[in-house]
Amino acid sequence: MLLQMKSTPGQKLALSAGTGHTAAVRADGKLVCCGRRAQCAMPADLGKVLEVSAGNSHTCAVRADGRLVCWGSNQTGQCEVPSDVGPVWTLSAGYHHTCAVQTDGQLVCFGRNLEGQCDVPADLGPVLSVSAGSAHTCAVKADGFLRCFGHGDGSHKVPENLGPVLSVSAGGFHTCVIRADGTLVCFGANDDGQCDTPNGMTSTAAVSAGIFHTCAVKTDGRLVCFGRNREGQCDVPPDLGPVLAVSAGFFHTCALLTDGSTVCFGDNDAGQCNLPD
């Protein structure tokens, strides 16, 4: 089902699109969610939230006190937050695993590890950000250089001479980064054109790699999506307006506009585009 849904009341500060659900943080710190029931069954005592990440069949959030909380499917331990994990300031929920950066910069990953996506290198050191894909994990180190581990059609193989990066997004079996000069670079599987970066992507502000597609926000606020589009996940509305952030899910895409409203488009079979206020 192809659908475009817009949510205007209740400004959002952050959002994340998973496989069949979408979660967002409102300006008042409340987490809202739509789509598959288990992934949206957040704890009653969750309280205010700083950040959220929607995975395949689970969701994780950082509470206002820095504590990491996860819920949904836990078949591979992706919701079992280790007891020794300290305060967290950023996180990423992958397909069957979860990674979080503690306030001391140390990276912690847990859940499925058949491909080594949770084997944090001992010499990694402090990291600035992390992105968990399907079978791989990528982190931006404190020096700005990218380190990936796990496996998946070359998505974990950092290109030579990539140089420092500003941000990274690990998709299904591909990875996209914004280099220090603002250039968008994608590598890994490209069966659906998810790595075919359009011309002119030299001033990129944000990027999100989905399972088979990629979306990026240019510095002028324009949203560009490419890759698989059978479900309309790359059909950016022509009247969308300036975009602040984007999240590419499995078969749908959600964008956070500069006015705090959200727009989702693509597959809506589980109501993942019907984001509440």
Distance, in Å, from the CA atom of 119 to the CA atom of 89, rounded to the nearest integer, reads 20
Written as one letter, the residue type at 277 is: D
Distance, in Å, from the CA atom of 109 to the CA atom of 41, rounded to the nearest integer, reads 22
**pLDDT at site 24:** 97
Is pTM beyond 0.85? Reply is yes
> pLDDT tens digits for 189-224?
999 999 999 998 999 999 999 999 999 999 999 999
φ/ψ region of 17 (left if φ > 0, alpha if ψ in -120 to 50, else beta) reads: beta
**pLDDT at site 155:** 82
With a cut of 70, say whether residue 3 has pLDDT above it: no
**pLDDT at site 8:** 47
Distance, in Å, from the CA atom of 208 to the CA atom of 17, rounded to the nearest integer, reads 10
> pLDDT tens digits for 44-84?
999 999 999 999 999 999 999 999 999 999 999 999 999 99
Set out the domains of the chain in order of their start, with CATH numbers.
2-267 (2.130.10.30)
Closest CA to 102 of 79, 82, 80: 82
**pLDDT at site 200:** 87
Residue 84's contacts (CB-CB under 8 Å, 6 or more residues apart) are none
Which range among 152-166, 228-242, 262-276 shows the weakest confidence by mean pLDDT? 152-166
**pLDDT at site 6:** 55
**pLDDT at site 10:** 66
Q: Are 194 and 227 in contact (CB under 8 A)?
A: yes
Place of tokens 């979080």: 100
Looking at the DSSP assignment, which residues form a beta bridge with residue 139? Answer: 130, 147
Over residues 129-137, the mean pLDDT reads 97
Q: How many other C-beta atoms can be found within 10 angstroms of the C-beta atom of residue 261?
A: 18
Q: Are 255 and 243 in contact (CB under 8 A)?
A: yes
> pLDDT tens digits for 93-114?
999 999 999 999 999 999 999 9
**pLDDT at site 4:** 56
**pLDDT at site 1:** 39
With a cut of 80, say whether residue 2 has pLDDT above it: no
Looking at the DSSP assignment, which residues form a beta bridge with residue 23? Answer: 16, 33
Extract long-range pairs of 183-190: CB within 8 Å, 24+ residues apart.
184/216, 185/159, 186/214, 187/154, 187/155, 187/157, 187/158, 187/159, 188/152, 188/153, 188/154, 188/155, 188/156, 188/157, 189/152, 189/153, 189/154, 189/155
Q: What is the SS3 string spanning the chain?
A: CEEEEEECCCCEEEEEECCCEEEEEECCCCEEEEECHHHHCCCCCCCCEEEEEECCCEEEEEECCCCEEEEECCCCCCCCCCCCCCCEEEEEECCCEEEEEECCCCEEEEECCCCCCCCCCCCCCCEEEEEECCCEEEEEECCCCEEEEECCCCCCCCCCCCCCEEEEEECCCEEEEEECCCCEEEEECCCCCCCCCCCCCCCEEEEEECCCEEEEEECCCCEEEEECCCCCCCCCCCCCCCEEEEEECCCEEEEEECCCCEEEEEECCCCCCCCCC
> pLDDT tens digits for 160-185?
999 999 999 999 999 999 999 999 99
Over residues 134-139, the mean pLDDT reads 97
